[in-house]
Structure formats: structure tokens, C-alpha cells
Amino acid sequence: MTSKSSNVTAADDGSFEAEVLRAAGPVLVDFGARWCGPCRALDPIIDRIADENVGRVKVVTVDIDDAPEVSARYGVRGAPTVMVFEGGERRAQRVGLTTKENLLKLL
């Protein structure tokens, strides 16, 4: 995953609980992979959401190759998959390349 924003946090199997499940407020989680073309196309959108919503939404990326346990636990079968978590629970999900507007609707 190639986030260029300092407002995007990377998580893996070891840090997912602390970064996502125990976070205060909504967390937008982008499950993707370095080899995935649609994931690379989504990266700038994810960065923009992170930069424009500092303090309102935490944005986390998860490379499915580096986090097989978390990916399996949440049934990630395609990349990119974007989920919204709040209070440790999954609240919304969208699979595939999408727009900034559609992702903001999930929040």
C-alpha cells in the first residue's frame, strides 16, 4: 500500500486491535495489496479522506498479504475492501474501487 499521507496509519495482524478496534470514533480501514491495481488507484482517495477528516475519522490501511489473520477474520476476499469500524464493531463495508463520495457515505 502506498499511502503518501502522514494521516494514514498502517496496521497488521499484531496492531489491528490497538489501531482499529480500540480506537475512539470511526475508523475507515482500507484492506488492499501492493500488487493490486485498483488498490493503487484508491490510495489517493484514501489519502484525501484522511487529510480532510483529521480529528473526525481515523484512516488505517491493512496490506492483506501482511495481515492474513485479520483479513480472514473479517472475510476479505477481494481487494480493495474498505470497512468502517466504530466501538470495535464493523459498521459498513464496500468491495472494489469506488469514489470518495461513496466512502464518505459509509461514515
Rounded to 5°, angle at Cα 17 from 106 and 104 = 15
User: Residues 100, 82, 52, 63: is their CA dihedral positive or negative?
Assistant: negative
Instruction: State yes or no: is 38 an active-site residue.
Output: no
Nearest CA to 81 out of 53, 62, 68, 100 is that of 62
Residue 54: what residue type?
V
- Among candidate residues 20, 27, 39, 62, the one labeled active-site is 39
- Among candidate residues 36, 49, 60, 84, the one labeled active-site is 36
Instruction: State yes or no: is 103 an active-site residue.
Output: no
Beta strand pairing status for 58-63 and 89-95?
A: unpaired
Residues known to be catalytic:
36, 39
